[in-house]
Every structure is written in C-alpha cells, then in structure tokens.
Structure 1
Amino acid sequence: MSLVGKKVQPFRAQAYHNGEFIEVTEQDFMGKWSIVCFYPADFTFVCPTELEDLQDHYATFKELGVEVYSVSTDTHFTHKAWHDTSPAISKIEYIMIGDPSHQLSRMFDVLDEEQGLAQRGTFLIDPDGVIQAVEINADGIGRKASTLIDKIKAAQYVRNHPGEVCPAKWQEGGETLKPSLDLVGKI
C-alpha cells in the first residue's frame, strides 16, 4: 500500500549531526519540507556517492526550506565513525539517523527483512508531516539529488497554488495545468 498522502507516524531515533548525538522524532518534520533518504549501510560503495551528492546540493535544499535526513540501519555511533573517516561523508552537514531497531525502515516500508538493511528509499514530506513523493531504487542504482530539487519545487508549487498541477517535465516558471472538464481529451 502506498505511503503517499499518509502522515509520518510517531517515532524516536538517535542521530549524528555536526559533531553531536541528537534525538529525532516525527515532530522534527513539522513546519518545513523534509527529504528522508534511506540507504543500505555505512562504509559501502554507492551510499557515500549518494550522500555526498545530497551534501553538494544541501545549500539549494536549505534555500527551498527543506531539511535533509539520511537513514540506515546502522547506529548513530557508526555514522560518527564513518563521518570521521570518509572524505565524502566528512562533508555532510545534514542529520544522519541511526535505525538499528529497524523501526523507521519498517514504518517507511523499505526494510529488506532478509538482509536487515534499508532499501534506497527517498521520501518527500510536506510541512504537515504528510508524504508527498516516494521513490525506491534497487541496491545498485544510485540516486541523483538534482532530480529531488525538481520534485520539491513541483510539490511546493502545487501546495501553494490549489487547483493547479505540474505536468511532466515541469520546471520552475513553466506552465501548469488547471484540471477541468474542458481539458478532458485535449491534452
């Protein structure tokens, strides 16, 4: 069953952020846009390339009012160790959530039960804590942060312009559609 349109359920998790251990809850998603990126494991191969790409676009996310959270089934201690040793991960300024209990991975339906690892799931959450977009990739397929920026801009536009929708390939400033009876069969 799709999580799109569903509100994020209550949770508590430990995270690593800017040299400190912090607690994150569903309340942290409220009042702003959030991107939650699940990935299989620290100290791996595709994962650091994705997380570094998110960091490379972090200033743009912040300009759009978006906070980024990465999540794996590793602990927050492992996130710190990875941050301290990897050139790519040492750049990260966003919050790295640990999910060793698999609570979040199950809640977002990205847990590979056999491996005990999260799949590559990306979730766009609106300021009300409601999931607006979901993408799940196979382990070998890395994600590109710039495509998230386009989705965020479209989701924010739709939220701020009730009655309008963004067509395929929509870019900021592009034409939108106003669904109505007179458009049926004309697109």
Structure 2
Amino acid sequence: MSLINTRIKPFKATAFHQGKFVDVSHESVLGKWSLFVFYPADFTFVCPTELEDLADLHGEFQKLGVEIYGVSTDTHFAHKAWHDTSAAIKKVKYPLVGDPTATLSRNFGVLIEEEGLALRGSFLVNPDGVIKVYEIHDLGIGRSAAEMLRKAKAAQYVAAHPGEVCPAKWDEGAKTLKPSLDLVGKI
C-alpha cells in the first residue's frame, strides 16, 4: 500500500539539534512542511555524504519553510557523538532524530527488521501531516539533496495552484500543465 496522501502516525522522539537534546513529535511537525530523511546508521559511509549534502542546501529548504529531520535507529546520544567527531556532520543544523525503538522507521515503512536499521527513505510531509512525496533506496544508493529540493518546490507549487501539475524535470519558474480533455494525445 502506498503512503502517498496518508497522514503520518503518532510518534515521540528525542533529537540532537544545535547542541541540545530536543523533543520531536507528530504534533510538533504539524503546521509546516517537513522532510524526514531516514538513513541506516551514524558513523558509516554513504550517510554522512547525504546529510552533508542536505546541510549544504538547508538554507534553501528553510526559505521554502521546509524543516529537515535526519532519522536513524541510533540514539540522540550517538547523534551528538557523531556531530562532535565528523567534519561532515558538524555542518548539520537540522535535527538528527534518534529512533532506537524503530517506531518512526516502522511507521514510515523503512525498517529492515532483521538488522534494526532503516533503509534510505525520504518523505516530504505537508503542514497537515500528509505525505506528498517519498522515495526509498537500497542502502548503497545515495540521494541528491538538490532533487529533494526540486520535489519540495513542485509539491508546494501544486498545493498552492489547484488544477495545475508539474511535468517531468519541472523546476521553479518553468511552465506547468493544466490537465484537460484538450491536452489528451497532444503531449
């Protein structure tokens, strides 16, 4: 079953965020766009490259009103230790959420049960708590923050412009489509 247009399930977790431990819940993410970025584990190989890539574009996401949440099944304590020892993770200014009970990973369908790790999953959630975009990758395939940013812009555009859709490779300022009988067979 697809998670598109489903509401996120209740959760409570602790995150490491800008030198502090903070509470994060389904209720605290409502009212704004959120990007949940699941990754397998701290102190690994592909994960810091992805989180650093997101850190480099974090300001662009913030301009859109999108808060990023990095999530792994590590604890918030491990996230702090990783932040303190990795040059790539020191760049991260968004919350790194601990999910040691795997509640979030299960809720979003990315948990590898036998390993206790999350697959690489990205979930864009609208201010009502509804999943509008998601992708899930195998552990060895890294994601692109620029592509996630493009998808966030497209999702926000579609939400703000009912009746319009974004075609392939759409980027901000590009032409959109208004589905109608007149377009059938002409694209």
The TM-score normalised by the length of structure 2 is 0.98
Q: In structure 2, what is the Cα distance between the partners aligned to 1:186 and 1:146?
A: 31
Output the CA distance in 1 between the equivalents of 2:9 and 2:67: 18
The CA deviation at 1:28 is 2.1
Tell me the secondary structure at the aligned position of residue 100 of structure 2. Answer: coil
Q: Secondary structure at the match of 1:97?
A: strand
Tell me whether 1:33 sits opposite 2:45 in the alignment. Answer: no
Q: 1:95 is aligned with what amino acid?
A: P
Q: Which amino acid in the other structure matches residue 175 of structure 1?
A: K
DSSP 3-state at the match of 1:57 = helix
d(CA) in 2 for partners of 1:33, 1:114: 32
Query: Which aligned segments of 4 or more residues in structure 1 are displaced greater than 6 angstroms?
Result: none
Residue of structure 2 in register with 1:4 after alignment:
4
Distance 1:26 1:135 in 2: 20
2:132 aligned residue: 132
Name 1:105's counterpart in structure 2. 105
Identity of aligned residues (%): 64
1:131-164 Cα deviation digits (max 9, x unpaired): 0001111111111100011101111110000000
Residue 56 (str. 1) matches residue 24 (str. 2)? no
The match for 2:144 is: 144
How many equivalent pairs are there? Answer: 187
Report the alpha carbon displacement of residue 171 of structure 1 after superposing the two structures with TM: 1.3
Superposition deviation, residue 27 in structure 1? 1.5
Structure 2: runs of 5+ lacking an equivalent? none
RMSD: 0.7
- TM-score, L = length of structure 1: 0.98
Is 1:158 the counterpart of 2:158 in the alignment? yes
